[in-house]
Every structure is written in C-alpha cells, then in structure tokens.
Amino acid sequence: MKTVRIVSLIARSAFMLAMLLGLLLWIAQIFDLYMLLRILLQIGMTYIHETLGITGTLAFIILAFVAVWKRELRLLGIFSMIYAILVVAFGVTQPRILVGNLHWLIQGAHLLIGIGAMYLARGVERRYRRLTQSGSGRQNSETPVLQVM
C-alpha cells in the first residue's frame, strides 16, 4: 500500500512540476517576456517539461497496472491505461496541432488533460487504499462515510 502511495505521489508531483513549467512558458509567451523566455529556453525548459511529463505518465501507468490486477479496480485501471496513452499522444503531437492564432486552444486542452491525469492518479490511489483497508478490517478515521470523488 505504501508503494502505491509513493508511485501516486511521484506521478502527481511530476505532473504538477510539468504543469508549472508549462504555465511559466505560456505566461512568458503571452506577455512577451523575452528575457524570461530566453532564460527558459537556454536551460532547456521544454526538455525538462517533457521529461517530467514522461516520468508522471510512467508512474501513472504503473498505478493503472496495479489497479488492473485488483478485480474491483479493473475497469478504473483499464480507463487509466487508455488515459495514459492519451496523455502521451496528446503531449507529443500538441505542438503540431492547430498551429497559429488558435493554438492556445490546444495548449488549454493540454493543460486540462494533465490536470485530469493528476486527478485520476489520486483517484486510483484513494480507491486502492480504501479497498485494501476495508479488506483488512481497518477503518480510516479521516475518510468520510460519503466521499465524493
């Protein structure tokens, strides 16, 4: 159970850092902050962003495999695997989709897909933890009876 929590934390942290770097680059482009943009490109910010995205996606795929091996979480695990493929496919092709004045729509969709991956990774972890705790007879005092996910 601790392994699932650590893998989930790695996935969500990598996605969060990638999101922050992407937003920083986006803000620098929107407000024409040439000095900030130049610094970000010199340190290879896009490669760092891609590496963090790949790291988060790999950790997310590990969570999906764990969910697939649990019978009660199998459907969530399959959906997570499909979503992970979507994250990778959209992340790789995003710079080439709708190039021009409307590219901000694709960037916004890219951001939303990343946020969805963070949310789904947390959901897999929570459901796995709830399933393993209920199976061992322990009750978690911090988990409410009715929990909206």
Per-residue pLDDT of the chain (149 residues; tens, 9 = 90+): 789 999 999 999 999 999 999 888 888 877 777 787 778 778 888 899 999 999 999 999 999 999 999 999 999 999 999 999 999 999 899 888 888 888 889 989 999 999 999 999 999 999 999 998 876 655 554 555 555 55
Residue 39: partners with Cβ closer than 8 Å, 6 or more residues away? none
Q: How far is CA 96 from CA 144, 145, 146, in A?
A: 45, 46, 44
pTM (whole model) above 0.85: no
Cα–Cα nearest to 19, from 41, 52, 47: 52
Neighbours of 109 (CB within 10 A): 14
